[in-house]
Amino acid sequence: MSEATIPIQVEDLRAKASRELESVPDLDGLEAWRITYTGRRGQLTQLLRGLGALPSEERREAGAVANAVRAALEESLAEREDQLKRAAMEASLSADAIDVTMPGWPVPKGGLHITTRIVREICSAFASMGFTTVEGPEVEWDTYNFEKLNIPKGHPARDMWATLWIDHIDEDGEHPMLLRTHTSPMQARIMEATEPPVRVVVPGRCYRYEATDPTHEWHFYQIEGLAVDRGITLADLKGTLYEFARRIFGSERKVRFRCDYFPFVEPGVDMSIDCFLCDGVGCRVCQDTGWIEIMGAGMVHPQVLENVGYDPNIYTGFAFGMGPERVAMLKYGIEDIRLFYANDLRFLRQFA
Ligand code: DAH
């Protein structure tokens, strides 16, 4: 190697290294470049090994050039590193960028169960007529479910309610427990707990030991109603239930009351509305009768008033009980009560 060539070679090296540095694509490439040129075994270091052979004057000069080149290359390296890092960051930012014009993710929206809706609708129709909503226990004593309602042990009327008994023995074996078969036991509980006047509706779940079919479930809801005061007559019952039917089924509705038997009322009635689908002409929904039965009702039996400590010579009252699922089935044309509790979202979403 000639003495004069070292600075020239260093300059050449610098030109080559600078050119290459421009086209290093990423940080890995940058490290490879550093090892090739400015690293401990890099080309620049190799060149400088030759300096020792030069006379001291030239060595100083060439050394100064070499040091300047090393400093310049290291500075370019740092700059390029900076550039590549910034480019990488920008690339990842734009990859993660949010396009605000894209449609958003749908947020799953909950809704009320159809039974909850119809129960609320019915209770609020009665609330506007002065009825308070109360609730009661689903596990009940035989006493409240039957006896206080004028259905003594062994009475054939008990067969009207296929009962699910709870495996419970009282100390004296006297108080069998059951899943309430209707909401009527709340009549007795409310009257025992309050003085007249009473005006309540009681929504809640009931249970029966029954096979299921399109119109029967082994558990379902009822809404009980009770009004007791001085001078309440059958006309109050009719007026109140007529108003209820108009609110739920439309202002054109007619109602019909016929005699029926329930042990806790006297007289007992069943109430029907004229079919809202065919306007009473006769169709599938009303089974060609023109009428649809919607609830049982009646004047509270004097024996029931006595059982709870009310004087039947002073007070009279009316009571009624209906199945809200049945009301919803009529209102929305639902053909199978089992759909209510089968948890099929395709059914439930239609009402949410
Ligand atoms: N508890 C009766 C049932 O489940 C329905 C009923 C009928 C309730 C007449 C009443 C009533 O309050 O007066 O079949």
* Same-domain pairing of 231 and 333: yes
pLDDT at residue 3, as a whole number: 46
Residue 182 inside a domain? The answer is yes
pLDDT at 61: 84
Q: Is residue 133 part of a domain?
A: yes
Give distance in angstroms: CA of 323 to centre of ligand 1.
10
Domain co-membership, 81 together with 173: no
Residues 302 and 272 in one domain: yes
Instruction: Convert the pLDDT of each residue in 192-232 to its tens digit.
Output: 999 999 999 999 999 999 999 888 899 999 999 999 999 99
pLDDT at 215: 83
What are 4's two structure tokens? 């004069």
For the CA atoms of 9, 10, 12, 13, the dihedral, rounded to the nearest 10 degrees, stands at 120
Tell whether the model's pLDDT for residue 177 goes beyond 80. Answer: yes
Beta strands in 150-191 (DSSP E): 164-166, 177-179
Strand ranges (E), 208-290: 219-230, 255-260, 265-274
The count of other CB atoms within 10 Å of the CB of residue 317 is: 27
- Cβ 296 under 6 angstroms from ligand 1: yes
Q: Is 44:37 a contact under the CB 8 Å cutoff?
A: yes
At 1 the pLDDT is: 47
Tell me, yes or no, whether 89 and 173 share the same domain: no
pLDDT for 315-330, tens place per residue?
A: 999 999 999 999 998 8
What angle (nearest 5°) sits at the alpha carbon of residue 318, between those of residues 314 and 321? 150
Q: What is the pLDDT of residue 8?
A: 84
* Assigned domain for 104 exists: no
Residue 106 in any domain: the answer is no
pLDDT of residue 240: 97
In this prediction the pTM is: 0.71
**How far is the C-alpha of 16 from the C-alpha of 25, rounded, in Å?**
16
- Say yes or no: 9 and 122 in one domain: no
Assess if residue 270 is contained within a domain: yes
With bands split at pLDDT 50, 70 and 90, how would you rate the model's confidence at 164? very high
4: pLDDT strictly greater than 60 = no
pLDDT exceeds cutoff 90 at 331: no
What is the CB neighbour count within 10 angstroms for residue 263? 20
Summarised one tens digit per residue, pLDDT across range 48-107 is 888 888 888 888 888 888 888 888 899 999 999 999 899 888 888 888 888 888 888 888
Q: What does the pLDDT look like over 10-21, one tens digit per residue?
A: 888 888 989 998
Active site members: 161, 182, 208, 222, 265, 319
Q: Which token pair is 264?
A: 């806790």
Tally of CB atoms within 10 A around 11 = 13
Give yes or no: residues 86 and 204 share one domain.
no
CA-181 nearest atom, ligand 1:
4
Residue 208's SS3 state is coil
Question: pLDDT band at 162, cuts 50/70/90?
Answer: very high
Domain residues for 174? Answer: 116-351
The mean pLDDT of 149-163, rounded to a whole number, is 91
Alpha helix stretches (DSSP H) within the chain: 5-23, 27-37, 43-49, 56-95, 114-127, 142-145, 185-193, 234-249, 302-307, 324-332, 345-348
Q: Tell me how far the alpha carbon of residue 118 lies from the centroid of ligand 1, in angstroms.
A: 19
Average pLDDT value for the chain:
91
Kindly state whether residues 266 and 318 are assigned to the same domain.
Answer: yes
CATH number, domain of 170, equals: 3.30.930.10
State whether 90 and 133 are in the same domain: no
Distance from C-alpha of 57 to C-alpha of 59, rounded to nearest angstrom:
5
Mutate which of 260, 270, 320, 327 for ligand 1? The one with the most ligand atoms within 8 Å of its CB, which is 320
Residues 68 and 193 placed together within one structural domain of the fold: no
Mark whether 80 and 131 lie in a shared domain.
Answer: no
Residue 135 shares a structural domain with residue 208? yes
- What is the DSSP pairing of strand 132-133 with strand 255-260? unpaired
How far apart, in whole angstroms, are the C-alpha atoms of residue 319 and residue 226? 4
Identify whether 107 is part of a domain.
Answer: no
